[in-house]
Structures are given as C-alpha cells and as structure tokens.
Amino acid sequence: MGLSKKDVKLVTDPLWDNNPITVQVLGICSALAITAQLKAAIVMGLSVIFVLSVGNVVISLIRNVIPGKIRIIVQLLVVAALVIIVDQVLKAFSYELSKQLSVFVGLIITNCIIMGRFEAFALGNTPWKSFLDGIGNAGGYALALVIVAFFRELLGSGTLLGFQVLGDPIKKTGLYALGYENNGFMLLAPMALITYGIVIWIQRTRNKSLIEE
C-alpha cells in the first residue's frame, strides 16, 4: 500500500513541526521523570508507539458502534488493556527496567497525547490513517524523550545505554584525564525541564511559525 502525501504528513508532521511535547506540551510528566537514562527513554517511547498506534486502530474500528455517552470509558478500557500488555512484557523480559520505569508505564493510560488522538483523530478516520497518526504522534513523543535522555545521560553519567563513552571516571581516562567531571545536576528532574526548554528554543529558532504572537 503506497503512502500519499497526506499519509506521509500524518507521520512526519508530529516528529518536529507539531511535536506533541515541544509544541503541544503534552505528556510532559513522564518525559521529565524517565529521561535520566537513554535506555529507559527508548523503552518508554516504544511502549507509547505500540499503545497509541494499536489503540488508534482499535478505536477507529469500533468508532461507529461506541455510544457517545461512554466513549471516554471505552477509550480508557482500550488503552488500559494495551498498557497491561506492555507492562507484562517488560516484567517478563526486562524486569530491572520494568522496576526502573515503575508507575510511569501505568501512567501511559492517562497520557494526554493518547486520549487526545483517540478523540481528535481515531474517532473520525479510517484504521489505516489512524495507525499512521498514532505512529507519528507517538514517534514525536519518543523522539523528544530520546534527544533529552541522550544529553542527560551523556553529561550526567558519562555513559550512553550504560556504556562509558567519555572514559572511566575512576581510572581518569578519556575526558576525565583532562579534568572533566560528570554533571550530577543533569540527572535531576529540573534539568530535564531546562533541556526541553533548550530543545523548544532551538525548534522555534528554526521555525518562526511556531512562535506565538
């Protein structure tokens, strides 16, 4: 199945120009909490991609039979079922990471991005378009997490995905031999907010249309 220009835009637009975190400022709580390590950010991003893309398809498939008065309850049931699947898979195959992500996996249920796309898009579009919309918006969320986590782990711990990339801080090799020290502040939640602010500033510098009058 070929992708039309509109289909491509559904995927690419939320990655940057309409990113749900940096432009719409949605889903910011988990984004601040789990970006101290790149691995956790990647797993959270992939989890949201799965939940939103599959959830969008399910809501689109049943949109014509959902009574309007209980549509929010139905949407919550769909996302809760998908989050349970994600949580159980993590516990089965990566228990330590599951403990690290803790309650934030469960909080995917209340992620504004997911419920917002269910309401704004999946209820009024075909399953295919809804799938692409889910991939795009969740991908934008994941991209923002990965960018911030990259710099926080690199500058805060000197590692990426747990591997030392700046040298050994104990043996004083690499950059540490030149006097570099890890910035512990990068691992604290306030620095996540500051890092997101820098990303937002760069984004608006490159795209003036995002600057509010």
Q: What is the pLDDT of residues 85-140, one digit of tens each?
A: 999 999 999 888 888 787 788 888 878 899 999 999 999 999 999 999 999 999 99
Q: Which band of pLDDT confidence, cut at 50, 70 and 90, is reported for residue 1? A: low
Using alpha carbons, list the distances in angstroms from residue 192 to 100, 150, 208. 17, 11, 24
The answer to whether 15 touches 203, Cβ cutoff 8 Å, is: no
* Cβ-based neighbours of 202, under 8 Å, separated by 6 or more: none
* Cβ-based neighbours of 144, under 8 Å, separated by 6 or more: 19, 20, 21, 22, 31, 196, 199
Q: What is the pLDDT of residues 163-195, one digit of tens each?
A: 999 999 888 888 999 888 999 999 988 888 899
* Cβ-based neighbours of 180, under 8 Å, separated by 6 or more: 166, 167
Rounded to 5°, angle at Cα 24 from 23 and 25: 95
- Return the closest-CA partner of residue 145 out of 57, 77, 49: 49
Give the whole-number percent of the chain exceeding pLDDT 70.
98
* Whole-prediction pTM: 0.90
Q: Is it the case that residue 48 has pLDDT exceeding 80?
A: yes
Would you give the DSSP letter of residue 180?
A: -
d(C-alpha 120, C-alpha 129), whole Å: 12
